[in-house]
């Protein structure tokens, strides 16, 4: 049986411009403690859809875990802007708390 990473990697190979497949692959990589490999997939998602908050949040948190605070901060700030614009209260609170620590 193929792992979730293998399943989504196969889908990404067939449709490399599909941001939903890349997002799912990134999440599967993180779940397998392979966060560094997930970074380019979250970056792709954030670049492809300017109003998609979740890849920015997950990428920002991942970069923090990887010790890349300076890279994480603008992503988290952008995610906060989107949370405010889109009226997502829980992410807004979480992002404000993360940004205070930075």
pLDDT in tens, 15-62: 999 999 999 999 999 999 999 999 999 999 999 999 999 999 999 999
Q: Look up the CATH number of the domain holding residue 18.
A: 1.25.40.10
Look at residue 29 in the predicted model and tell me its pLDDT: 98
Look at residue 1 in the predicted model and tell me its pLDDT: 67
Sequence-distant (≥ 6) Cβ neighbours of residue 101 within 8 angstroms: none
pTM over 0.85: yes
Residue 8: domain span: 4-101
Number of domains within the chain: 1
Long-range contacts, stretch 30-33, CB < 8 angstroms, 24+ apart: 30/58, 30/62, 31/4, 32/3, 32/4, 32/5
């Amino acid at each position: 049986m193929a792992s979730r990473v293998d399943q989504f990697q196969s889908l990404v190979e067939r449709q490399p411009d599909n941001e939903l497949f890349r997002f799912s692959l990134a999440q599967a990589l993180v779940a397998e403690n392979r966060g560094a490999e997930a970074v380019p997939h979250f970056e792709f998602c954030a670049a492809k859809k300017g109003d998609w908050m979740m890849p920015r949040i997950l990428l920002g948190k991942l970069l923090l875990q990887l010790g890349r605070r300076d890279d994480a901060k603008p992503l988290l700030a952008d995610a906060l802007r989107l949370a405010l614009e889109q009226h997502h209260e829980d992410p807004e609170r979480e992002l404000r708390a993360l940004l205070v620590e930075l």
